Amino acid sequence: MKLIDSHTHVQLKQFNPDRDEVVKRALEKEIWMVNVGTTRKDSQAAVDLCNAYPEGVFATIGQHPDEREVFDYDWYVKTGKHAKVVAIGECGLDYFRVEPHLFNEERERQIELFEQHIALAIELEKPLMVHCRDAFSDVKSVIKKQIADMPAEVPGILHFFTGTKEDAKTFLDFGFSFTFGGLITFNREFDEILRYIPKERILIETDAPFVAPEPYRGKRNEPSYVIEVARALAGVRKAPFEEVCKQTVQNAKSAFGI
Ligand SMILES: [Zn+2]
């Protein structure tokens, strides 16, 4: 295939009216996708979606740090054995919306939830799909405690990386890969980090239906738009577009074991 959208959410309700068309539109362009679960129900929907297509559609299962349902570890173990479940997450820490007076208990809750995902990734030998917002120091220390037991080749993928060079260095040392999305098509703040991370560790995503790339800004995003992210990455790194497509596909394949 030509490209892989390594982090998207086509199972979400925004796609209820035309989900099959959206998936087919991508597959016809040889764009594969990984639908990322954010709750138990949503993870099941992502798995159902990959069962509906013979190839090119994969899932991850997990509970986003903002979601407050009880984490059903046994269900995730059982569901995570599916061959097309290629990662555990979206999991991690997000302190962006936490109210200051609730910070300590919320931090504790999120860390515990994240640790359960790490245990799951270790048990199933699948990589983590990590979400991190305003929480790099804690994400790094939680992973550091467990990294020795995590899957060796690519233990995790840091989704929509917004950290510093120093953060990137720590995750590179952990063996992590990084995904970048629509933001890099219109925000130049990421150019330096995009040139810093070795090309073998960069994946591309849409995070659809959110954050559509140029020229679709403000509209509903979808996996076939990942081509705009590839174009932007090629521009920033001054690399041929075809080479960026090939390299990011190869990186996604090795990260997800597909
Ligand atoms: Zn996402």
Which CATH number does the domain housing residue 235 bear? 3.20.20.140
> What confidence tier does 172 reach under pLDDT thresholds 50, 70, 90?
very high
| Model pLDDT for residues 79-97, shown as the tens digit of each residue | 999 999 999 999 999 999 9
> What confidence tier does 151 reach under pLDDT thresholds 50, 70, 90?
confident
Q: Stretch 116-122: mean pLDDT, rounded?
A: 97
- Known binding-site residues for a divalent metal cation equal 7, 9, 90, 131, 159, 207
Q: Stretch 208-224: mean pLDDT, rounded?
A: 97
CA of 11 to the centre of ligand 1 (A): 11
- Known binding-site residues equal 7, 9, 90, 131, 159, 207
CA of 205 to the centre of ligand 1 (A): 9
User: Residue 1: is its pLDDT beyond 80?
Assistant: no
Expressed as residue numbers, the domain containing 45 is 3-256
Give the count of domains, the chain: 1
Task: Report residues near ion ligand 1: CB below 5 Å.
Answer: 207
The chain-wide mean pLDDT, for the chain, equals 96
Q: Stretch 175-192: mean pLDDT, rounded?
A: 96
SS (H, E, C) 90-101: EEEEECCCCCHH
CA of 8 to the centre of ligand 1 (A): 6
Query: Is the Cβ–Cβ distance between 47 and 59 less than 8 Å?
Result: yes
CA dihedral defined by 252, 151, 197, 56, rounded to 10 degrees?
Answer: 10
CA of 78 to the centre of ligand 1 (A): 23
Containing 5, the helix (H) or strand (E) segment is: strand 3-8
Q: Stretch 31-42: mean pLDDT, rounded?
A: 98
